[in-house]
A and B are shown apart, each in its own frame.
Chain A
Amino acid sequence: MALRDVLGLYSDIDSAVAGVDKLAEVGIHREDFEVLSNAPYPEGAFGHDHTTSRLGLWPVVGACCGFAVGLLITGGTQVVYPMVTDGKPLFSIPPMVVIMYEGTMLAAVIFTVLGAIFESRMPRFSREIYDTRITDGYIGVLVHSPEESVNSAAEAMRATGAEDVRMAEARATKASQPARANRKGASA
């Protein structure tokens, strides 16, 4: 089945919300379009987006890795290079705690950032359809529509005050994999 992206650009939020509602009326599900804006709006302002992410797991995995590396460095170097300093035990746990803590935190931060990039579907340098006016304050409604619904989506957006409606070239996807399945956690 061929999918096609249609981008409608609205100059204000009221008409963008009207456009979103109109899309629902013409049978385009919430999972099949996304709203682009240059700053976040209160959650649910354009209808509830069912997107979920696993971002919370990333720092946990990172922390475990960092802890392990910290343990290896602090424990390992004390074992392979036994040297008594100031009467402290050859295997001193308190100093290890400090460095393991730092290692845990460092890796947790790095993994969180990597997770944020990955979960945001980035990096993605080539976009089929995008409009720089979005960062100027326009609100974009990007519909991932089957070829046969493209015109009704575009018409719905024009009817609700979209200043500009642009269409990308059609792209082929597997027939069994509708657009909504591409978005994790999608549910009716």
Chain B
Amino acid sequence: MQERRNLPQMEVIQELLLPVTRTTMWMWIGFIVLGTILAAFAFAVAWMFYWGIGVTGLNRPGMWGFMIVDFVFWIGISHAGVMISAILRLTQAEWRRPVTRAAEVMTMFSLMTAMTLPFIHTGRPWRTAYWVFPYDFWRGIFPDVRSALVMDPSAVFTYLTGTILFIYITTVPDIATLRDRSTGWRKGLYRVLALGWQNDERQWMIQAATGFLLAALMLSIFVSVHSIVSWDFSFSLDPVWHTSVWAPYFVIGAVHSGVSAAVTLMVLMRWMFGFDKYIREEHFDAIGRLLVVVATAWVFFFMLDVFFALFNQDPRETAVMKMRFEQWPYTLMLVLIFVFGYFIPVPIWMFRKFRRNIKLMFWTSIMVNIGMWSERYWLVVPGLERKYEWTFDWNFYRPGIVEITIILGTFALVPFLFMCFSKIFPPVSIWEEKEGQNFLQEIKVGKASIPAIVREF
């Protein structure tokens, strides 16, 4: 089915620059609603800083609650960018073009959001900064590199830096387009950021090669990031945490939630920015097929985690697993994980007709992320609630209003920052869209005309 059309160049540019040049009513509504939630978020954070973390539900020994769960969740969402951008770039999948930029930007903002959470969670972030950066050559005291809590910031920082640079270098041609069409302060900003890009063949050649190189590098970083986040837990001896499968399990779960979040974003961009001509049903079809494979792989790792936790019948592990399977609210979480994360969406995605139904794709993608947030909670929180030989207490974690507000705030922060980005840079890559059109061809087989592309080996 030929859905792609060759559009006039000016039409492509004007339509894809729409969020930059015009603020639609939906954007205004978005800014106001999200801004309000962010104000509540700021108030909740300030309240907690003032009174201390006693205002949250955290208490010994369950000191990792909503904020750490949310940290893991947003790190997971950040895996959408590289999954879509890097892997699809390396495999030369054509359908990546309208999705890559938005997914990369979502990666950047979800990482920033994720990074704020462990700092906020400490209750006294200024002191944390003092402990994290004591590279004190005068006294000869250094952080313990053997701790996963040193590896973790290094991985997240590497990923964030890489993502920002990746986005920047692939946006330079579009910034040049903006430079040539803007006035005033924007012109100055774009002129500096475009670095004098003039669209010559050499620059395009370097751009393509850089895209491939960075994609390969980012892919290696992306796998390491969520692995290292998982090691924050599994390097400890806590039952159900101390397991070797968490690294790939976290990564594949992250891809599942991240790609689903990319679907949500694609639908929102269609609705808010009117990108119907660029983000088409065929894109949802392709991403739906990908999600079937990813979701199934995720379930496989989930099963490995559960089965091998019970494998040698260690009473401590069995007790926590029993709590996860039988005790409220973990029973509800388990249902959400399976039903929302797999059993509703995947059968739907198996059918082409449903994969091409935008509303259905939107709601299934939301469902997946409800399931995945529950999964993070199900994995992280029960591990610390019980009393072990090296703790002297037990506790049932119940989040307070402050934490709930902070979590809601993070869900507002990412889209808010994305909308701010869209006001300055195009959220769909203009040059990649045009490149796709330049490479677009058609092959006739009998009466059928098959969409085709020029392939450079």
Q: Is B195 within 8 A of A122, CB to CB?
A: yes
Residues of B near A125 (CB, < 8 A) are 191, 195-196
Q: Is A49 within 8 A of B151, CB to CB?
A: no
Q: With A42-B438, A85-B146, A132-B181 given, is the CB distance from A110 to B161 under 8 Å?
A: yes
Q: Could you give, for residues 33-64 of chain A, a 1 whenever the CB lies within 8 Å of some chain B CB and a 0 otherwise? A: 01111111111001001010101100100000
Whether, in the assembled complex, A149 has its beta carbon less than 8 Å from a beta carbon of chain B, the answer is: no
How many A-B pairs have beta carbons closer than 8 Å: the answer is: 189
Q: Is A49 within 8 A of B202, CB to CB?
A: yes
The interface on chain B, measured as residues whose beta carbon lies within 8 A of the other chain's beta carbons, has a size of: 63
Whether, in the assembled complex, B210 has its beta carbon less than 8 Å from a beta carbon of chain A, the answer is: yes
Whether, in the assembled complex, B314 has its beta carbon less than 8 Å from a beta carbon of chain A, the answer is: no
Question: Of the 9-residue stretches A21-29, A98-106, A155-163, A165-173, which lies at the interface with chain B?
Answer: A98-106
* Residue of B141, B201, B213, B454 touching A112 (CB-CB under 8 A): B213
Residues of B near A136 (CB, < 8 A) are 9-10, 13, 180
Q: Is B218 within 8 A of A109, CB to CB?
A: yes
**Residue of A whose beta carbon sits closest to that of B177:** A135
Residues of A near B180 (CB, < 8 A) are 132, 134-136
- Classify the interface of chain B: helix, strand, loop or mixed: helix
Whether, in the assembled complex, B145 has its beta carbon less than 8 Å from a beta carbon of chain A, the answer is: yes
Q: Could you give, for residues 67-111 of chain A, a 1 whenever the CB lies within 8 Å of some chain B CB and a 0 otherwise? A: 000000110011011010110100010011011011101101110
Q: Could you give, for residues 1-42 of chain B, a 1 whenever the CB lies within 8 Å of some chain A CB and a 0 otherwise? A: 000000011100100000000000000000000000000000
Q: Is B200 within 8 A of A99, CB to CB?
A: no
Whether, in the assembled complex, B142 has its beta carbon less than 8 Å from a beta carbon of chain A, the answer is: yes
Q: Is B162 within 8 A of A95, CB to CB?
A: no
Once bound together, how far apart are the Cα atoms of A86 and B177, in whole Å?
A: 57
Distance to closest chain A CB from B260 (angstroms): 26
Whether, in the assembled complex, B116 has its beta carbon less than 8 Å from a beta carbon of chain A, the answer is: no
Once bound together, how far apart are the Cα atoms of A109 and B162, in whole Å?
A: 6
**Residue of B whose beta carbon sits closest to that of A80:** B140
Once bound together, how far apart are the Cα atoms of A35 and B208, in whole Å?
A: 16
The interface on chain A, measured as residues whose beta carbon lies within 8 A of the other chain's beta carbons, has a size of: 63
Scoring A88, A98, A127, A142 by chain B CB atoms within 10 A of each residue's CB, the highest score goes to A98
Question: Of the 9-residue stretches B165-173, B280-288, B350-358, B410-418, which lies at the interface with chain A?
Answer: B165-173
Residues of B near A55 (CB, < 8 A) are 206, 209-210, 213
Q: Could you give, for residues 126-164 of chain A, a 1 whenever the CB lies within 8 Å of some chain B CB and a 0 otherwise? A: 110010101111001010000000000000000000000
Whether, in the assembled complex, A120 has its beta carbon less than 8 Å from a beta carbon of chain B, the answer is: yes
Distance to closest chain B CB from A182 (angstroms): 11
Whether, in the assembled complex, B302 has its beta carbon less than 8 Å from a beta carbon of chain A, the answer is: no
Whether, in the assembled complex, B119 has its beta carbon less than 8 Å from a beta carbon of chain A, the answer is: no
Once bound together, how far apart are the Cα atoms of A163 and B159, in whole Å?
A: 46
Q: Is A51 within 8 A of B201, CB to CB?
A: yes
* Residue of A36, A53, A77, A106 touching B205 (CB-CB under 8 A): A53
Residues of B near A108 (CB, < 8 A) are 217
Q: Is A120 within 8 A of B202, CB to CB?
A: yes
- In the assembled complex, 5 residue pairs joining A and B whose CB atoms fall closer than 8 Å, in A order, are A39-B435, A109-B162, A109-B166, A120-B202, A135-B199
A39-B434, A135-B13 are known; give 19 further A-B pairs, CB within 8 A.
A39-B431, A40-B207, A42-B439, A51-B201, A92-B145, A92-B146, A95-B145, A102-B158, A102-B221, A105-B220, A109-B165, A109-B217, A113-B210, A116-B169, A116-B206, A119-B202, A132-B181, A135-B177, A137-B13
- 4 smallest CB-CB distances across A and B, nearest first, come from A137-B9, A132-B180, A39-B434, A124-B196
Instruction: Give the A-binding residues of B (Cβ under 8 A).
Output: 8-10, 13, 140-147, 150-151, 154-155, 157-158, 161-162, 165-166, 168-169, 173, 176-177, 180-181, 191, 195-210, 213-214, 217-218, 220-221, 224, 228, 431-432, 434-435, 437-439, 454, 456
